[in-house]
Amino acid sequence: MRSLRLVIPCVAFAAVEFVTCTASPQNRATQNRTAPRIEIRFQPSAVIAPKVDLRPQIEKFGLAIRDQGNRATCSVFATTFLIEYQSAITSGTKNIELSEEYLNWAKNRASKTDVDGGKFTDIISGYTQFGMVPIKDMPNQPAFHPKHPDAPTNSVIASGKKFARFRLTFIKQWDNQKGMSEKELEATTIFFTGEVGKMAMTSMGDDPVSYAERVSPVWPYTRIVLLGLCAALMLSSLVFAVVWMLRKLIGKMKGVPHLAVRWVPLLAVLCLLGIPFFAGKLDGAAIGTLNFFTFAIFLATILFPLLSLTGLVLALRVPKETINRGVRLHSLVVSLACCVVAAFLASWGLLGLRLWASL
């Protein structure tokens, strides 16, 4: 079991106001105590398996969690830790201990206030103006003293201003009366490589966000041309069907063999055309329920690939000498076009589509 002496930065920020808000006036009026070093051990979780775990690094650099006592300085302590952590991983220095007392003073000086603790924006403003010092230069006090009789000396302030600053950016400045702007929402967007090696994106907000990736134009345009060609070939089967029916009416189709080679690809095309037709009959909650139209869509997305493949097999296996060459060639290319479209539908997860099971 590995011990850890500090919580992860995001946890510190997320819980920053909890202690202050739950501490009652009676608790804050109790006897103050010193702030000794304490150690917190974390039990490994069998449920949570974080992708990023900073705890080994925190332990490696010997960063410690310090007790704020009864003071409302949780935000100051959280910010101090982040500066300690960044200093450690940047310089490789271990056991860095910076002064929350100094940062609290700097925050008040920068924001012209006299309060214990405060908003992160004010704390960062104090850090930006006055820097930071080691805890030995300004030890933490058990109680807050208004008007700052424990203010740092000029030499300590001069030393703090020489402290290397880290650039900190707020996604949104504190304002509980106004939500995030479009620019602020964009600042929450993160791109990363997913588990399957493809780019993924995450962002805050309720509205859907889309993004584009730079790719070679060859495949997108090839796909458009291919699907357009398939659509033209499949629609041509409807034209030929009209011709066949007219020939049937005048008795020109008597004794014609291998009619299945003609009508199986036609049935496949009709199944595909039935999908948008049945979908157009659905609205509202009916889309996610089992009814005549959703079942018809399910059946059509099953029959279409089966008929497409059957038509292709029939066109390939029919004896050439027993069928008109043009009819065989047309049935072959239409069946092939149906198979290509079926492959696209399969790649999009649209075969055997059960709308009642999708919501």
DSSP E strands: which ranges in 213-252? none
Name the range with the highest mean pLDDT among 20-34, 201-215, 304-318.
Answer: 304-318
Instruction: Reply yes or no on whether the pLDDT at 266 is more than 80.
Output: yes
Residue 247 has a pLDDT of 85
Average of pLDDT values for 212-233? Answer: 89
Predicted pLDDT at 245: 86
Neighbours of 299 (CB within 10 A): 16
* 181-200 average pLDDT score: 72
Tokens 């993924």 correspond to 200
Bridge-based pairing of strands 65-66 and 37-38 is antiparallel
What does the pLDDT look like over 92-124, one tens digit per residue? 999 999 999 999 999 999 999 889 999 898 999
The domain segmentation of the chain, as residue ranges, is: 9-161, 218-357
> How confident is the model over 283-339, as pLDDT tens digits?
877 888 999 999 999 999 999 999 999 999 999 999 988 898 999 999 999 999 999
Mean pLDDT in residue range 253-277: 91
Whether residue 107 contacts residue 118, with contact meaning beta carbons closer than 8 Å, is answered with: yes
Q: Report the predicted TM-score, pTM, of the whole model to 2 decimal places.
A: 0.48
Q: Are 191 and 200 in contact (CB under 8 A)?
A: yes
- 3-state percent breakdown (helix, strand, coil) of the chain, nearest 5: 50, 5, 45
E strand or H helix at 201, and its extent? strand 199-202
Share of the chain above pLDDT 90, in %: 49
Going by C-alpha positions, the residue among 58, 52, 44, 75 that lies closest to residue 4 is: 58
User: In the chain, what percentage of residues exceed pLDDT 70?
Assistant: 80
Report pLDDT for 198.
72
> Is there a contact between 356 and 290 (Cβ–Cβ < 8 Å)?
yes
